[in-house]
Amino acid sequence: MALPTSRPALVLDFGGPVLLTPFELVTDQPGTPAYGLLHQRGPLAPAARPDPTWEDLQAGRITERAYWDARAEQWHASGGHEPDIRAMVAHLYDPPRPELVREQARSLVRDAHAAGMRVGILTNDLRAFHSDDWIARIEIVGDVDVVVDGSIEGHLKPDPRLYELLAERLDVAFAEMVFLDDQASNIRGAEALGIPSVWFDVADPDTSYAEVRKLLGLPPEVHDG
């Protein structure tokens, strides 16, 4: 989708494009209930062993919360704690630490700001999954201009109202955003409003970031070494 001459806003989903996914974090936890449930599942499921529930999510047949509720129930049944999504997420993300955030996301936010662009985070579940103290210790959240969190707004992506709230608070038109999200249904919702969007491939983050940079007119990221 072609962008207007002015490109003032970068919009990032939080879980996935910014924060490492649970599917990646369990790699270092073999033998745990979470590892058994999430290793090579979701976006990292191999073709020979697909994740049917994740496929239902991508097709829009279930919501993202329904997916994680199902995983939390399975986590509980396999030896985790109470069947609660927040408890399962806390198990993987505590304590808050810099390595939870993708360095490519930090670089993209820095470069967008340096180019005079506004930056927003558009998320469904930041405060549903994490405490205020945890959020405060993840520095990139404080580095962006606007955070719109569906878990406190009463609307969840792909509901148009959540995108409208973001546009209002960033003070930009839909066509002036570039949106990065790892959920196909959220991309479809954004594109229906005329928001230029890039689907974030958890298995190939660099290609996704490169496409966003291209749409924004930012130079490619320079890797050391």
99 burial via Cβ count (<10 Å: 0-12, 13-18, 19+): exposed
DSSP string across 105-169: HHHHHHHHHHTT-EEEEEESSHHHHS-HHHHHTSHHHHHSSEEEEHHHHT--TTSHHHHHHHHHH
Q: Which run of H or E residues covers position 216? A: helix 205-216
Q: What is the pTM of this model?
A: 0.92
Q: How would you write the pLDDT of the chain (225 residues) with one tens digit per residue?
A: 444 445 689 999 999 999 999 999 999 888 878 888 899 999 999 999 999 999 999 999 999 889 988 888 888 887 767 777 777 777 789 999 999 999 999 999 999 999 999 999 999 989 988 899 999 999 999 999 999 999 999 999 999 999 999 999 999 999 999 999 999 999 999 999 999 999 999 999 999 999 999 999 999 987 655
184 burial via Cβ count (<10 Å: 0-12, 13-18, 19+): middle
Helices 103-114 and 205-216 pack at an angle, to 10 degrees, of 10
The answer to whether the Cα torsion of 208, 185, 45, 97 is positive or negative is: positive
| Sequence ranges of the domains in the chain | 9-19+101-216, 22-93
Match domain 9-19+101-216 to its CATH number in 3.40.50.1000, 3.40.50.1950, 1.20.272.10, 3.40.50.300.
3.40.50.1000
